[in-house]
Structure 1
Amino acid sequence: MEKFDLLEKMEMYQLDLLIYIINAGGSATKKELLAHLKIGDYILTKVTESLITYANDSSNGFTLEVTKHSIRFQTKPDYSIHTLFNKLIVHAPKYRILEELQLCGTIDPIRLCEKIGISHSTYFRKINELNYLLKEFDLSIQNGYLLGSELQIRFFYVSLHLITDSKEPLKLPNIDPRIYDSVNEIQAILGSPLSFLSRRKLIIYLSLLKRRNAQKNISDYSDQAPFFNNKTGITNQKKFIRSLKTTTLFKKINKVLTSFLVYYSFKMLPNETTLLLLFLLGEEIIPIHSYFLKELDSIEKSSNLFVLTLNEEFIVFMKQIYPHAQLSKRHLTMLNYYLNSIAYRYLIFKGNVNYYWEPYPIDHQENNRFNIIIAFIDHLKGKYPTLFEDSKYTHLLIKKYAYILDFYEECIKAKVTVGIFIEDSSLFKKQATKWWIKHAELTSFAQAEPLVISHPYDLVISNVDCSYLRKQGKHFFFITNYNEKMDTIDLDNLLHKIYSSRY
């Protein structure tokens, strides 16, 4: 589901227009915008008039200047187009319906239509539009209720909260201190600081848990084991869940969760802790330095969880692409952590909310990395057909594995070796050599030292231009000493060029 999907047609035009202008450098002609939006002059006028109204209400956060032939868009440094995006979303009918379901547990169509100012026919049309979007998450709205597995409902609402401004996620009431205390307890159990995003996800999850218990709206999920959405390796999934319940992590989290629910006088339903742990795994909340990852790794192996199979398939595939590559122990640990996150996310949850303008940051059809990953996904499809019973989720895997490939390639690239030779007085030579070494190593992928004649280098930097120095390196950089700033810019460009050409 795209963030755009929650908007009405006019709001889509408004944001699409602004995004186009931003990509064009801040201004665009009306002719270009008419062609891009595929609309007429009348609609364009309505779109710009609405945007000017929003601009006036933004406390000068942004301005829209409309002339006879062009439109210019400017924002203040502390204002983002996402601010406007979120403002439009929280007033959109589809969003208001989802909000009502979350806040009340059910919908009274008559009351809601009056509340948000739409007709009954519009309401039912929006329900149909929402059900089309929710199908991706294996959810649906029927008779005023949101139906689906409990974990999918929570996952969807956490995802929905995250596409709005962090200051006002889905208009949650003031979050009581007990929720923050519970998040802090979970962080202490995991033994490593949680990221801001991970804390946000947990706060939203526990807020949802509290509200759904208060509404008595949680369906019986005791028969939903093994809880994984994807049924590849279902027997091993059941083994994993059984083993998970015996871990120290499970017992500690269970204690926190029980205390949390008892505080509100809620009954602890069966498998509630299992749901939270799967949420932690599927949403990449357990930090990479948590000592409980070893415990999880152990039960993954003992149950032969399919997560490990997916990880091994990727590593084997990479060895075929880069047969001579070697990863350090630290890089291998990080790679396995990222691969685990992808596999758990894909196997546990269904659906995805894309928060950004486009599904991919680059044109993957023309990018070699995406071609490699597409070949990898095709390999998995042939070997594990049940893994891809619903092909529309393939694009998410391609994007995530492409990021992993970027990381993998960065890990296997050797650092650019740099030799520095400065000819001058002893004092200046020592200081200048030290300065250039420090500057070269600012890139984090260069390793520099005073030039040693017996050592070959990827790059030699010197203020002396002679043949024997040039032979010491594959590349040579001559310090002009005319404009130091230009020298450093040129050197940085050369270092990046050398590093980028490794693979």
Structure 2
Amino acid sequence: MKIEHFLEKNEIREVTIFKQLVLNGGKISYTDMLDYLAVAKASLDKDLESISFRIQSLADQVHINYDGQYISLTMGDEFSLQHIYQLYLNQSVKVKLISFLFEHQEFSIIQLAQKLMISDSSLFRKIKELNSYLKEFGIKIRNGQLHGEELNIRYFYFQFYSYIEDKEALIASHSDKQITQMVQAVESFLHVTIEPESRQRLDVWMLISKNRVKHKEKKYSRLREQMQPYLEDTLYQKIRIMVLRYFSRYSIEVDEEEAMLHFAFLLAFPILNEHDFHEYTLERDRRAPIATIDTYIVETIIIHYKFRRLPYMLEREMFYHLSHIHTKLYFFQGDIEIYDYEEIIAKEKQFTGRNLVSFAHTLLEVSTSKFGIKNIEDNSLLKVGLMKYISLLAIVTFKMTNILQVGIDLKMETIYTETLDQLLILNMRHINGIHVEAYQSSKTYGLILTNQQPAQKAHYGEAKVYVLSEILSSFDMKNIQRIVQQLNG
């Protein structure tokens, strides 16, 4: 599910205009915008007029200008595209519909249509559109209620209040002593320290859980099945005792499944810090599904890159991130894409190379196959999982890359060498795994860049020597990159 799915077609175009302006340095020709949007001139003019009206209250923060040829954007230093999205989402009927459903658990068509000030037919259309997107979460709005597995419902609301609706407003309006005590109970029972950002995530989850706990018709059939390998898990047992004791204080009867919901959430999201999670991994059953696939993927990465062994802390970090990825794949369905998938993948390829992206696809195929997940097109959970695999592989690649020491030794007058040394260093910043500096005879280098062949072969010791044909030429840069890859390979 994409953020844009909460907006209307014309609103999506308007947001896209902002996005294209940001991607094009704040200025784009009118004809290029027309071509990109594939709309008629009248439609673009109408969109620009609508944008001007919508942002008029933010004139001191954001401004769009059209001079007859170019469309340009200016924004305040503390104002971003994210604020533009939020402006549109705050006015979205679909967002208001989901918020109402969360607050009241159910609605009648007449009641909600009046509340949203739209016709019954428009409301039916909005519900139908939302259901087409909610399908990937395994939930559906029917007869004025949200139907589906309880874990999927809470997970959707958690994503919704994390990325779509204002979570700060939710916390401010719903947080109370009961929520504070629940978060403190998590820290106390589990003997962990929850950091501020993670605490905010937990606050949102607990608010949603408090709202849903008294709902009568909750479904747990899939969750019960998934939890079978974890009923004796040490962390689950602690959570189970905590949940049953906590709710008994308030005379609220809860099923054991309530503890299962919290177990899945705490492992799927970075609530526990890396140290506390590591302490848990020392106790968890390594034959359970998530632990098994964590180990299998780590071993696959080690074999693929032909590493003899990984540094202890790097391996620990890998298990931490992989467990979040695999827990989400195991327990949850759907996701909200907060980043442009195609754009991120394209940038990742440019930054990390096609081979790394291809290997990430292989890892995703392995994990989804092990969990029996069908690779459905446009499955946001799998898209986000792939991006996380790519990021993890990038972390491993960077941390395991040997740093090649490169020395620049230009035989020219000092007035030139100081400037050209710096220019060479700047032009080589994009090459991973190297440290570049002006040559110092007291140091050892793996590669020397010079503009004159040394008189004696051993002048630079065992360093590889590359003689520049034309300083800063693309020909030399290409060759240097090839040599670096060879030396680091």
TM range, smaller chain: 0.7 to 0.9
Q: Does 1:130 align with 2:130?
A: yes
Distance 1:203 1:307, change over 3 A: same
Q: Does 1:375 align with 2:352?
A: no
Deviation sequence 1:429-476 (CA, Å, 0-9, x none): xxxxxxxxxxxxxx99778999787x85325699x9966553453368
* Alignment correspondent of 1:305: 288
Report the identity percentage.
21
Native 8 Å contact 2:404 2:488 kept in 1: no
Q: Which whole-Å CA distance do the structure 2 matches of 1:15 and 1:407 have between them?
A: 33
Q: Which whole-Å CA distance do the structure 2 matches of 1:170 and 1:10 have between them?
A: 28
Deviation sequence 1:10-48 (CA, Å, 0-9, x none): 110110001011111101111111111111222212211
Deviation, 1:374, is 2.3
- 2:159 alignment partner AA: S
- 1:151 alignment partner AA: L
Distance 1:227 1:310, change over 3 A: same
Deviation, 1:319, is 3.7
Distance 1:390 1:446, change over 3 A: closer
Q: Which whole-Å CA distance do the structure 2 matches of 1:34 and 1:460 have between them?
A: 51
* Alignment correspondent of 2:224: 226
Q: Which whole-Å CA distance do the structure 1 matches of 2:271 and 2:224 have between them?
A: 20
Superposition map of 1:52-71 within 5 A? 52-58=52-58, 60-71=60-71
* Alignment correspondent of 2:81: 81
Q: Which whole-Å CA distance do the structure 2 matches of 1:8 and 1:282 have between them?
A: 32
Deviation sequence 1:161-207 (CA, Å, 0-9, x none): 11136564568624224323432442455555434442222111111
Distance 1:447 1:501, change over 3 A: closer
- 2:151 alignment partner AA: L
Q: Which whole-Å CA distance do the structure 2 matches of 1:181 and 1:448 have between them?
A: 53
Q: Which whole-Å CA distance do the structure 2 matches of 1:500 and 1:402 have between them?
A: 23
Deviation, 1:51, is 1.4
* Alignment correspondent of 1:345: 328
1:473 to 460, 463, 467: 463
Deviation, 1:209, is 1.5
- 2:215 alignment partner AA: N
Deviation, 1:78, is 1.0
* Alignment correspondent of 2:423: none
Distance 1:319 1:251, change over 3 A: closer
Q: Which whole-Å CA distance do the structure 2 matches of 1:476 and 1:111 have between them?
A: 77
Secondary structure at the counterpart of residue 284 of structure 1: coil
Native 8 Å contact 1:243 1:299 kept in 2: no
Secondary structure at the counterpart of residue 107 of structure 1: coil
Deviation, 1:401, is 1.5
Q: Which whole-Å CA distance do the structure 1 matches of 2:177 and 2:433 have between them?
A: 45
Secondary structure at the counterpart of residue 173 of structure 1: helix
Q: Does 1:147 align with 2:147?
A: yes
Q: Structure 1 residues 400-409 or 174-183, which shifts more? A: 174-183
Superposition map of 1:289-304 within 5 A? 289-290=275-276, 293-301=278-286, 304=287
Distance 1:5 1:466, change over 3 A: same
Q: Which whole-Å CA distance do the structure 1 matches of 2:43 and 2:291 have between them?
A: 53
* Alignment correspondent of 2:388: 400
Deviation, 1:370, is 1.3
Native 8 Å contact 1:187 1:194 kept in 2: yes
Distance 1:187 1:461, change over 3 A: farther
* Alignment correspondent of 1:275: 261
* Alignment correspondent of 1:491: none
Native 8 Å contact 2:231 2:237 kept in 1: no
Deviation, 1:273, is 1.7
Distance 1:66 1:310, change over 3 A: same
* Alignment correspondent of 1:198: 198
Secondary structure at the counterpart of residue 186 of structure 2: helix
Native 8 Å contact 1:222 1:270 kept in 2: no
Q: Which whole-Å CA distance do the structure 2 matches of 1:173 and 1:411 have between them?
A: 44
* Alignment correspondent of 1:409: 397
* Alignment correspondent of 2:475: none
Q: Which whole-Å CA distance do the structure 2 matches of 1:355 and 1:465 have between them?
A: 53
Superposition map of 1:354-393 within 5 A? 354-363=337-346, 367-378=354-365, 384=370, 386-388=372-374, 390=376, 392-393=378-379
Q: Which whole-Å CA distance do the structure 1 matches of 2:90 and 2:298 have between them?
A: 43
1:243 to 221, 225, 232: 232
- 2:217 alignment partner AA: S
Native 8 Å contact 1:161 1:169 kept in 2: no
Native 8 Å contact 2:302 2:309 kept in 1: no
* Alignment correspondent of 2:301: 318
* Alignment correspondent of 2:103: 103
Native 8 Å contact 1:460 1:472 kept in 2: no
Q: Which whole-Å CA distance do the structure 2 matches of 1:37 and 1:64 have between them?
A: 17
Q: Which whole-Å CA distance do the structure 2 matches of 1:83 and 1:473 have between them?
A: 52
- 1:474 alignment partner AA: K
Distance 1:360 1:339, change over 3 A: farther
Q: Does 1:45 align with 2:42?
A: no
Unaligned 5+ segments in structure 1 are 229-236, 422-442, 479-485, 487-493
- 2:464 alignment partner AA: K
Q: Given the two structures, how large is their TM-score scaled by the length of structure 1?
A: 0.78
Superposition map of 1:423-438 within 5 A? none
Distance 1:167 1:132, change over 3 A: closer
- 2:117 alignment partner AA: G
Deviation, 1:76, is 0.2
Q: How many aligned residue pairs are there?
A: 453
Deviation sequence 1:335-380 (CA, Å, 0-9, x none): 1111111111100100010112345513277822111222344456
Deviation, 1:501, is 8.0
Q: Which whole-Å CA distance do the structure 2 matches of 1:358 and 1:105 have between them?
A: 32
Deviation sequence 1:94-124 (CA, Å, 0-9, x none): 1111111101000121121112121111111
Q: Which whole-Å CA distance do the structure 2 matches of 1:498 and 1:150 have between them?
A: 53
Q: Does 1:284 align with 2:267?
A: no
